[in-house]
Amino acid sequence: DSGVTQTPKHLITATGQRVTLRCSPRSGDLSVYWYQQSLDQGLQFLIQYYNGEERAKGNILERFSAQQFPDLHSELNLSSLELGDSALYFCASSAGTGVEKLFFGSGTQLSVL
């Protein structure tokens, strides 16, 4: 158990809808990272937050947004969903701003029908 909690584990929705994925980092970790894993794109970095502030941005679509709350949990919002957004979304956390040791959650499997 990595200590990173992601909910829900599975999500099935329809095209055009909006969903929210939730991540609770390990106790004491200030950074949260979001990754998307799909068959065609592999593992792609989406965005990083550190202590409530956006720290780095990767290949995140404009339809996607994220935030980190004062209690350090994070939410990834996906809107106007398309079939191609179906993927496994991982959250990871670390103590500081570096990637030297990331702890990954078990992911949220999103299916867009």
Partner 1 sequence: AQSVTQLGSHVSVSEGALVLLRCNYSSSVPPYLFWYVQYPNQGLQLLLKYTTGATLVKGINGFEAEFKKSETSFHLTKPSAHMSDAAEYFCAVSGSARQLTFGSGTQLTVLP
Q: Does 12 bind partner 1 (CB under 8 A)?
A: no
Closest distance to partner 1 from the beta carbon of 90 (Å)? 6
Rounded Cα–Cα distance for residues 3 and 25 (Å): 7
Contact 9, 109 (CB under 8 A): yes
Contact 106, 6 (CB under 8 A): yes
Closest distance to partner 1 from the beta carbon of 9 (Å)? 9
Q: Give the binding range for partner 1 (CB under 8 A) out of 12-20, 23-31, 66-74, 99-107.
A: 99-107
Query: Among candidates 6, 1, 12, which has minimal Cα distance to 90?
Result: 6
Query: What residue ranges bind partner 1 (CB under 8 A)?
Result: 2, 4, 42-43, 45, 48, 56, 58, 90, 92, 98-102, 104-107
